[in-house]
Every structure is written in C-alpha cells, then in structure tokens.
Structure 1
Amino acid sequence: MAANKRTLFLKRRLRNRNKLRKINKTNKPRLSVHRSSKNLSVQIIDDVQGVTLAAASTLEKDMGFVGKNNKEAAAKVGAAIAERAKKAGVEEVIFDRGAFLFHGKIAALADAAREGGLKF
C-alpha cells in the first residue's frame, strides 16, 4: 500500500525527533523550525519544563516579511531568534528541523542563527 505525502512527512518528523532525544543527554533547549508555504516560524523550547523560551516568525509585522517565505526572510528570522535567545539566556541549542530537509530556507535560517551567536 502506498503511503501518502502526509504520512511520510509525519514518519520523517518522528524519526528526526527520536534521534534528537537520543543525542540530547544534557537537556539542552530545542530550536524547532516550522515552514509552511507562506511563512516560517521558529521556537526555542525547553522540553523539561515544557515552555517556549523565545520565538520568531515571518508573521511579525516588524520583520517586514508577512506572507513571504524565502531565504532572505529565513535569514532575518534566524538572526532574530539568536538575538532573542541571548536575551533569554540561551547560548546552546539542539537544532530540530522537523521533517524539513536541511537546505535552502532551513539552511539559511540555521546559518543566520549561528552567526547571531547560537551554538548547535
């Protein structure tokens, strides 16, 4: 039986998340990325306490990229999340790309976050 795209996406996301759980022995916060067709959003999540420490998205009007999902917007969101993470006292995270491949917009976001001072 052929699996549909959504089922394959969910399997890929679970596979990635389970690998992250095995790697994350020191309970570092997780930088979670979500990419839709029109927007991009990231959160830094503390899984131990179950709270979001910082977040950034292209939906924020001050970003100037509402409804845009391109590499330039991803880089700006990456820089914003790095700045907000520093304010929250977070320097090191685990990068959770979900089921999205690490290229294009996701890679641009990660590079900008690294340039902003986040370590992963």
Structure 2
Amino acid sequence: MITLTLDAMSAPLLALRLFSAEYPHLPAPCLDVSTVYPDRLTLSFHDDLAAFEAWRDALGIAAESITHHVQCDGRTQVLEAKADYAGAQLHLVGYAKVSAAGSVLSGTGDAA
C-alpha cells in the first residue's frame, strides 16, 4: 500500500484556499478532501439548494450541466455538478427533500 503525502492533495487544498479568498460571502459547504480521490474537492449542501445554486453560479458552471436524481428512498433529491478548478476536480452536490406533493425541483428555479 502506498501512503500518500499531503502534497498529493495539493490541488484540492489550493482550490479550497482560493475559495476562502475569492468567495468568503458564499454559504459554507460541507467539505470533503480524501486520500481515496486526492485530486477531488467535494462541496456538499444539505437541505439548501439555494446554496448549491449560489456556488454553481459563482463558479460559472452551466445550469445545463447539472445532473439530477432521486435516491432510492424516494424522499431525497440530489443535484450534482462537476468542474475543474485550480487543478482540482470540483464536485458540487446538493441534497434536498422531495416535496410532499411529490414534485421535484432542480434547484435552479426550473422543474426537473
């Protein structure tokens, strides 16, 4: 087994540092940097698709590139967007409840 050094995770850590300087006004996400995917920075938003959308818009990720699915429980919708940023693979994820009426919102103001 190869042990990674912190240097192997420099791209997502740099992206995170740049985000803290460029976007301090945006909602704070849950963050994930992992030795499993050392080039990836995941920003996740739970029960706040508006925060997901704010980050997507600030990073210039096209709304058309968002993928959407409902988890197998039928109660949780998931929005995902991916982009490259400062050498890191950026992964935005938004989770929200499916409304009681059963409609699913895309998080961008349009029906899915």
- Please give the TM-score of this superposition, normalised by the length of structure 2: 0.33
Task: Pick the structure with greater CA Rg.
Answer: 2
Task: Please state which structure has a larger fraction of its residues in strand.
Answer: 2
- Please give the TM-score of this superposition, normalised by the length of structure 1: 0.31
